[in-house]
Amino acid sequence: MSHKTRILIGKPGLDGHDRGAKYISQVLRDAGFEVIYTGIRRTPEEIVEAAVQEDVQAIGISLLSGSHIEMFARILALLNEKGATDIVVFGGGTIPSGDAEKLKKSGVAAVFTPGTPAKEIVEKVRNLVSNS
């Protein structure tokens, strides 16, 4: 039957710029994914609990502020706590390349910096969820 991949997009942090999160939501929708868009200023707790209730295969985090390392660490820890480590986490935003490497080592599956072509994002995400 018709299996669809569901992905949650959220934007933690205090700033109200949701352009990146909305952009990625549309890119993924146009590629045939079902996107649960949760909006700005989300806490890691909200993101992870919503991801569990929605039973998504992946969480995409859009971040502009400098707090990405702690933010991702908290999300990964919460997923672990809830026994939901099969949910893939990826991120995007103005993340310095040094930090991106650190994030990947800590369990973030992919990091997209501004300017990554839509096609590349879609391919990567599709890969991630098909392996999960």
Partner 1 sequence: MSQSIQALVGRIRSEDASDAERRRTAARMMTIIEDEPFRIVELIQAVITEEDAHSKLVVGVTGPSGSGKSTLTDAVVSEFRKRNSNGCVGVVAVDPSSPFTGGAILGDRIRMMKHTTDPGVFIRSLASRGHLGGLSLGTSGVSRVMQLIGCDPLIIETVGVGQNEVEILELADLVVVVQSPGAGDSTQMLKAGLLEIGDVFVVNKSDLPGAEDVHSQLRSMIELRRECGSGREPVLAVPICAHTGKGVAELVDLLSRLAEENQSLWRERRAAQMRDEVRHVILETATGLLREGVDEQTLVRRVLEQGEALEEVSRDLVARAAEEIKRHHGS
Site string for partner 1, 1-30 (x = CB under 8 A): xxxx-x------------------xx-xxx
Question: What's the CA gap between 45 and 4, in Å, rounded?
Answer: 25
For position 32 contacting partner 1 by CB under 8 A, the verdict is: yes
- Residue with smaller CB distance to partner 1, 69 or 84: 84
For position 46 contacting partner 1 by CB under 8 A, the verdict is: yes
Residue 91, C-beta contacts closer than 8 angstroms, at least 6 positions apart: 60, 61, 62, 63, 68, 72, 103, 108, 110, 111, 112
Q: Which residues lie near partner 1 (CB under 8 A)?
A: 1-4, 6, 25-26, 28-39, 42-43, 45-46, 49-50, 52-55, 81-84
